[in-house]
Amino acid sequence: MSHRVGFFIYDEFQTVDLAGPLDAFAVANDLLAPEIGYELVTLTSDASAVRSESGLQTLADETVGNCKQLHTLVIVGGRGCQSVMQNEHQMAQLRQLADNSKRIVSICTGAFIVAAMWPERALKLSTHWDFADKLAQQFPQVVVESEKLFVQSEEVYSSGGLTAGIDLALSLVAQDHSATLAQQVAQYMVMYVRRSGDQRQYSNLLSAQQTLSQRFQGSIEYIQRNIDKPLSLELLAEQAALSPRHFRRVFKDKVGLAPMRFVLLLRLEKAKNLLCNSELSVAQISVRTGFGTPPLLTRKFTQEYGVTPTQFRDNFTLEIKQ
């Protein structure tokens, strides 16, 4: 039996929030028999065309009021979400459709609409990190997962901003069919099989670059380019044309971490990504992340995360199969 998936759009919706997940399900359809694939429809409040934030004009397949029952209702994000929430008739129609759907999905700021539909529910919701505080202030009953790519709260699934919607769509494909199919879809879309929902929307480590001088931005870029090579305080200080002592003091003051601690965490972050999103062995990952040997990677990984690299990969594999 096919799953009917409806994407609710409105004036000033975010184009990627629609196109990314829609394409993920559409690619899955290319790999599935028609009787078990996805029936994909776009929905608006009335029969008029809507225009996205970027100016793309879209004429939906159906209206919310006339929509047949859905398996999955997807509510995309965009600047126009606040206007939707202020339209009581539109919100009543959306809630009725949602109440009759088996699964509700919000992308990015679509979480605001979901929170407004059920003000009595203490849902866990993810949204774009830049709107997390606003969501928490506007809907204090909601538990905002500000850093996670996507979360599930009962029948409600929500994702962070923009491309995180694709990660959530791939997770749903894996849930509906198999992790293998999700991997095939991801490969066709030239991306990782999917990032785990627990992964951060952005790297706290690399976000430090935004506030650093060019000299220290260059140091971090050098670390990234040479993460698989031996790195020392002296070598990094030399790249910044500073003495090791001065480099260490200023780097820690600006970034909040000592340089070699930063290197270690960046290596472990890359190791986590490779464990989740590649079939490389632990030995190969040890080399690619600069640890050199599996015992050193395992020791540092376990000290930081409380599980071995193999256990971490096994847990991730189990998650996407569930």
315 vs 284 pLDDT, higher one: 284
Q: Which domains does the chain have, with CATH numbers?
A: 3-188 (3.40.50.880), 206-321 (1.10.10.60)
Nearest to 285 by CA among 303, 299, 268, 266: 268
SS3 (DSSP) at 5: strand
Residue (of 18, 283, 310, 322) closest to 196 by Cα position: 322
Quote the pLDDT of residue 305.
82
Alpha-carbon distance of 21 to 8, in angstroms, equals 12
pLDDT at 53 over 50: yes
Between 26 and 206, whose confidence is greater? 26
The pLDDT confidence band at residue 196, using thresholds 50, 70 and 90, is: low
Please tell me the predicted confidence (pLDDT) of residue 254: 80
Asked whether residue 319 carries a pLDDT value surpassing 60, the answer given is no
- Integer angstrom CA distances of residue 72 from 29, 54, 61: 15, 26, 16
User: Looking at the predicted structure, is the pLDDT value of residue 195 above 60?
Assistant: no
> What pLDDT does residue 278 have?
79
Residue 200 pLDDT grade (very low, low, confident, very high; cuts 50, 70, 90): low
Tell me the Ramachandran region of residue 12: left when phi exceeds 0, alpha when psi lies from -120 to 50, beta otherwise: left
Over residues 91-105, mean pLDDT: 96
Q: Say if residue 89's pLDDT is above 50.
A: yes
Least trusted range by pLDDT, from 6-20, 153-167, 177-191, 209-223: 209-223
* pLDDT given for residue 60 in this prediction: 96
Q: What average pLDDT score do residues 120-125 get?
A: 94
Strand pairing class (124-125; 143-144): parallel
**Res 97: pLDDT:** 97
Specify the range with the lowest mean pLDDT, choosing from 155-164, 243-252, 306-315.
Answer: 306-315
What pLDDT sits at residue 198?
Answer: 52
Cα 149 to Cα 101: distance, rounded to the nearest angstrom: 23
Mean pLDDT of the chain, nearest integer: 88
Burial class (CB in 10 A: 0-12, 13-18, 19+), 201: buried
